[in-house]
Each structure stands twice: as C-alpha cells, then as structure tokens.
Amino acid sequence: MSAVLQAVHSELGLFTHYNQLQVHYEPSQRALWYAMSPQPKPCFNLTLLGELKSLNDLIRLSTEHNSATSFWGELKYLVGTSAVPGVFSMGGDLALFRDAILNRDVQGLRRYAYLCIELLHSNSIDLDCNLTTISLVRGNAVGGGMEMALSSTVVIAERSTEMGLPETLFGLFPGMGAYQLLARRVGITQAEAMILSGKMYKSEELHKMGLIDVLVDDGEGENAVAEYIARQDTAYRSHRAIHQMRRMQNPIRHDELLAIAELWIDAAMNLTDRQLRLMQRLAKSQERMLTRQQGHEPMTQDAYERRVGHIEDALRAG
C-alpha cells in the first residue's frame, strides 16, 4: 500500500475520535452520513468546524487517489444532519463573536469567518468530488445554520423545520454565503427581503419558495433521504449533470465569499455596545427556545416573533 493510502487509512481512525461529529457509512446507499453534535450549544464552534474540515479533507484525499472503494465502497452521497433534537444548527458562535469584538481581535474573527466559508463553499460544489451533498434538516436552522443547510445540492427537511436569518436584528448581516445561496434559488429581490426581515420561515413557506427540495412529516427524514437516493440512482448521471449546470449558471465564487466576509468583519468590529447586548439577548432567546424544544415544550413561532419584536423595538428606540 502506498504511503498516501496508508495515511488515508490511518486517518479513518478519526471517525471514532471525533468529539462533535457522528460519522457512519451506509453501503446500500453509497452514502457517508455525518451528524453534528456540538457542545455545549448547537452552534458552529471552532471544534466542530475543525472536525468538519477534517472529514471533508479525508473524503477529498480518498477520492483523489481512487481509494474510496477500499474502505467505503463506492461513495456517491454525503449527507449532513444534526444529532441535536429539534435543532439543525443555531448558527455562528455568538459568544466567540462577542469576545473577538470586545477584544478587537480582527484576526481571530477573520480566521473563524474564513473557515466557515471554506466549509460552505466546499459543500456547495459537492467537495469538488463526484458525489452529491444532501442536507437533512430536522428542526431549526438559524443564521449560519440556514446557510450551511442551503449550501448542499439537495435540501430535505421535516415539517417542524424552521429557518431564518436574524443577524440584521443586532446590526449585522449573514456574511457566510446567505445572499448568494438564496439568490441562486429565489432571486435577488426575495433574497434581500428574507435577509432584511430577520424572521423565521416555516418549512411550508420554504418549500414553496424552492429552498427545500423535499418536505416530509416529522420522523420521516431518513426514509426520505433513502427514497431520494433510490430515485436519483435510476438516472444518476442526468441528475449530476443538472446539478452541475445549476452551478455553472449561478456559480458561488470563493473569492466573492471572502470579499463579503471582509464586509461582515468590518460591520462586526463596528457594532455598538448596545447592539452587542441585543445580540446577547437574541442568543439567550434562542437558548430558551432550544431548552423548551428539548424538554418537549416547544416555543411557538408567535412567542419567538414576540421576542424578536421586542429586540426590533429596542433598535428603533436607540
């Protein structure tokens, strides 16, 4: 075995050592599944981001050297989901953002943003491999969580799913690809309206807009992925070609994402103390919503929107 393949096989041991990812291969689907389980909160902390990058690097390394069949079988699909009940992801690490802003740590914020963009862009082009990325969303996808979900080629969601981009409520904007991802599917006008609204959208709305490809009842998500794969396999090359044409028609460019990240960093470093407090309040509202969901006492959309309304009123009053 070559040194490269030995390294790949050695890296497979990481699958059992990830702290915030659960990874397994489904031979019948030719799919590699990963479930995010970040701690202590379901957001994109640095540990989770690093483990996602490690997994992506391993997949690319294995396929570049035609070694996928030696330990996975044929790999055609990468399915990303969450192991946290009721939540896909609450998005960026707001505590990290706040600390970086207060400490004027521009480079730290830039490293975080660039790592997010690397992962999102890679996912949006199917890791530049001969596979299809699929997001299985079961619960809330907020901010960067919505961006990550939409970066996959295919989005499958359960009915209780809600998605939204609340960043404008505390003086920021979603800077890790939301504009391009939304514009590719719903057009610029609708994309800007969704970003500026700061609201959470129900799964039925998102499905009608074309942001969710397959919508199923709660508890049916994994079956829906299996059924989608079975259908796509009957004309795999045709589906792959259509996905590639979509990217050619509406490319998401890495250099543009980095440029937008710089705008986001500049905006973040210029948030006022008051806006930082509003960010913290929204984060606490999301944490309460998470606690209620995990305790099987879900916060209603109306209750969440009332909390958002209080924050909007505070912004206007300022």
Task: Give domain status of residue 55, yes or no.
Answer: yes
Task: Give domain status of residue 129, yes or no.
Answer: yes
The residues of the chain scoring below 70 in pLDDT are 1-16, 64-73, 286, 289-318
User: Which pLDDT belongs to residue 294?
Assistant: 58
User: Which pLDDT belongs to residue 257?
Assistant: 97
Task: Give domain status of residue 83, yes or no.
Answer: yes
Contacts of residue 124, Cβ cutoff 8 Å, sequence gap at least 6:
133, 151, 152, 153, 177, 181, 247, 252
Name residue, tokens 């802003």.
101
Q: Are 282 and 169 in contact (CB under 8 A)?
A: yes
User: Phi-psi bin for 23: left (phi > 0), alpha (psi -120 to 50), beta?
Assistant: beta
User: Which pLDDT belongs to residue 242?
Assistant: 87
Task: Give domain status of residue 11, yes or no.
Answer: yes
Write the burial class of residue 237 (CB in 10 Å: 0-12 exposed, 13-18 middle, 19+ buried): exposed
User: Which pLDDT belongs to residue 10?
Assistant: 52
* Host domain of residue 144: 3-272
User: Which pLDDT belongs to residue 282?
Assistant: 77
pLDDT in tens, 66-100: 544 435 667 899 999 999 999 999 999 998 999 99
Task: Give domain status of residue 115, yes or no.
Answer: yes
Assign residue 165 the CATH number of its domain. 3.90.226.10
Task: Give domain status of residue 171, yes or no.
Answer: yes
Domains in the chain, number? 1
Task: Give domain status of residue 284, yes or no.
Answer: no
pLDDT in tens, 230-265: 998 888 888 888 888 888 888 899 999 999 999 999
User: Which pLDDT belongs to residue 226?
Assistant: 97
Q: Which amino acid is at 123?
A: N
Selection from 21, 233, 54, 227 nearest residue 127 by Cα = 54
Write the burial class of residue 23 (CB in 10 Å: 0-12 exposed, 13-18 middle, 19+ buried): middle
How would you label 86-105 residue by residue, b for 16+ Cβ within 10 Å and e otherwise? bbbbbbbbbebbbebbeeee
How would you label 107-135 residue by residue, b for 16+ Cβ within 10 Å and e otherwise? ebbbebbbbbbbbbbbbbbbbebebbbbb
Beta pairing partners, 44: 92
Task: Give domain status of residue 19, yes or no.
Answer: yes
User: Which pLDDT belongs to residue 106?
Assistant: 98
